[in-house]
Amino acid sequence: KAKESYIQLQEQIPQWQFLLGSHFQRIIRASKTIGTLDVDYYVDIDAKERGEPVHIYYKNGDSIIHGNKSSSYVTMMQYLKEEQAGKILTPVANEQLSILLNAGQFSYSELPLTFGLVFGVTGTLAPLSAPQRNMLQDNIW
Strand ranges (E), 23-118: 41-43, 56-60, 63-67
What is the value of pTM for the model shown?
0.62
Measured from the Cβ of residue 74, the count of other Cβ atoms closer than 10 Å reads 19
Predicted pLDDT of residue 118: 63
Quick one: which H or E segment has residue 59? strand 56-60
Q: CA 20, CA 70: separation in Å to the nearest integer?
A: 17
Mean pLDDT over 24-35 rounds to: 83
pLDDT tens by residue, 111-125:
666 666 666 665 666
Of 131, 30, 126, the C-alpha closest to 79 is: 30
